C-alpha cells in the first residue's frame, strides 16, 4: 500500500500530486483505491483525499487492520465521516459489529451516505457526543469539521452520553476495541466508560489533544492496568497517537 498521504502538502512533489485532485467535484463518490477498503465508495468532499486514495493515517490503519478480528465489536468514538467505521465493518465481518458515535450533523450525513453507498449492515450510528455524563452540551462545529469539539462557547447543542449507560441499557454490545478521537474530550470519555473498560478490557486506539488531557488519560489507563505505547515510535509523553492494551491480555 502506497502512503501517498505521507508526502507533505508543502513539498513540491506534494503540491504537484495534489493539484489534479482539486478538479474532482466534492460530491463525487470515488472507489477507494487501495488497502482493505479497496473498491468501497467514498464521497470526496467528506474528508481529505487520503481517504479514497486509501492512504489516510497509513500506519494507524495498518495497525488497526492487524488487531481487529472477524467477529469483534468495535466502538468508533468520534467517527467523523466514517472512515474507521467502514474499515472496522470490513474487518469484523458479518459476525462482528461497529458502533459509531458522532454528534456533528454534517458528519452524520456523510456517515449515513457512506453506509448506504457501501450497503453496510453491521454498523449502528449513535448521533451523540461521548462524555462523562448523560445530558446535553454545547458543541463547536469549527471551520473544519474534523476538529469540531465540545466547548462551553459552542454554537450548537448536542446530546451527550456515557458508554456505561448505553451498555447498561443494552443499546450497545461490549467492545473488543475502541477508537477514541474526540478533539480534547478523551479524558471525559474514559471516565464515562470506566465500567466498560475495566470489565471488558478492550484494546484502545487513543488520539489525545493537549498535554494536560494526554497526561490524565495515560495516568488513568495505567491505573486500570493498561500498557500504553505510542504508534509513531516516539516516547509516550511526546506522542498524541497511542495504543493501550490490557496487561492481562498482553501477557497471554
Of 58, 50, 45, nearest in space to 9 by CA: 50
pLDDT band at 118 (very low <50, low <70, confident <90, very high): very high
Going 236 to 7 to 180 to 154, the CA torsion angle's sign is positive
SS3 205: strand
Mean pLDDT of the chain: 89
pLDDT of 250: 47
With beta carbons less than 8 A apart as the criterion, state whether 230 and 241 touch. Answer: yes
User: What single string gives the DSSP state of each residue in 54-94?
Assistant: T-TTHHHHHHHHHH--TT-EEEEES-TTSHHHHHHHHHH-T
The Cβ of residue 199 has, within 10 Å, a number of other Cβ atoms equal to: 11
Residues 24-40 as b or e (16 or more Cβ within 10 Å = b): eeeeeeeebbebbbeeb
pLDDT higher at 130 or 25: 130
pLDDT band at 16 (very low <50, low <70, confident <90, very high): very low
pLDDT of 126: 98
Report phi then psi at 158, rounded to 5.
-130, 160
| CATH annotation of 58-250 | 3.40.50.150
Sheet strand arrangement including 177-180: 123-126, 97-101, 73-77, 177-180, 203-207, 241-246, 226-230
With beta carbons less than 8 A apart as the criterion, state whether 64 and 98 touch. Answer: no
Of 231, 250, 251, nearest in space to 240 by CA: 231
**Rounded Cα gap, residues 215 and 213, in angstroms:** 6
Give pLDDT tens digits for 180-228: 999 889 999 999 999 999 999 999 999 999 999 999 999 999 999 999 9
Location of each CATH 3.40.50.150 domain in the chain = 58-250
SS3 32: coil
Q: What are the angstrom distances between the C-alpha of 104 and each of 4, 128, 138, 145, 146?
A: 28, 8, 11, 8, 10
Question: Quick one: cell of 32?
Answer: 477507494
Amino acid at each position: 500500500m502506497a502512503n501517498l498521504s505521507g508526502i507533505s502538502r508543502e513539498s513540491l512533489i506534494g503540491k504537484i500530486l495534489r493539484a489534479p485532485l482539486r478538479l474532482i467535484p466534492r460530491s463525487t463518490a470515488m472507489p477507494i483505491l487501495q488497502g482493505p477498503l479497496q473498491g468501497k465508495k467514498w464521497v470526496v468532499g467528506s474528508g481529505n483525499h487520503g481517504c479514497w486514495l486509501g492512504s489516510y493515517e497509513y500506519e494507524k490503519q495498518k495497525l488497526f487492520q492487524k488487531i481487529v478480528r472477524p467477529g469483534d465489536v468495535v466502538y468508533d468514538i468520534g467517527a467523523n465521516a466514517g472512515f474507521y467505521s467502514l474499515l472496522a465493518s470490513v474487518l469484523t465481518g458479518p459476525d462482528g459489529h461497529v458502533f459509531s458515535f458522532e454528534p456533528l450533523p454534517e458528519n452524520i450525513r456523510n456517515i449515513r451516505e457512506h453506509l448506504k453507498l457501501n450497503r453496510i449492515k453491521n454498523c449502528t450510528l449513535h448521533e451523540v457526543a461521548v462524555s462523562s455524563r448523560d445530558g446535553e452540551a454545547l458543541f463547536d462545529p469549527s471551520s473544519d469539521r474534523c476538529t469540531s469539539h465540545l466547548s462551553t462557547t459552542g454554537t450548537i447543542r448536542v446530546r451527550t452520553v456515557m458508554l456505561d449507560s448505553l451498555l447498561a441499557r443494552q443499546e450497545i454490545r461490549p467492545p473488543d476495541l475502541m477508537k477514541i478521537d474526540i478533539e480534547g474530550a478523551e479524558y471525559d470519555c474514559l471516565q464515562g466508560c470506566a465500567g466498560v473498560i475495566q470489565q471488558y478490557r478492550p484494546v484502545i486506539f487513543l488520539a489525545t489533544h493537549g498535554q494536560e488531557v494526554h497526561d490524565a488519560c495515560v495516568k488513568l489507563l495505567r491505573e486500570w492496568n493498561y500498557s500504553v505505547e505510542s504508534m509513531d515510535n516516539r516516547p509516550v509523553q511526546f506522542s498524541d497517537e497511542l495504543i493501550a492494551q490490557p496487561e492481562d491480555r498482553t501477557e497471554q
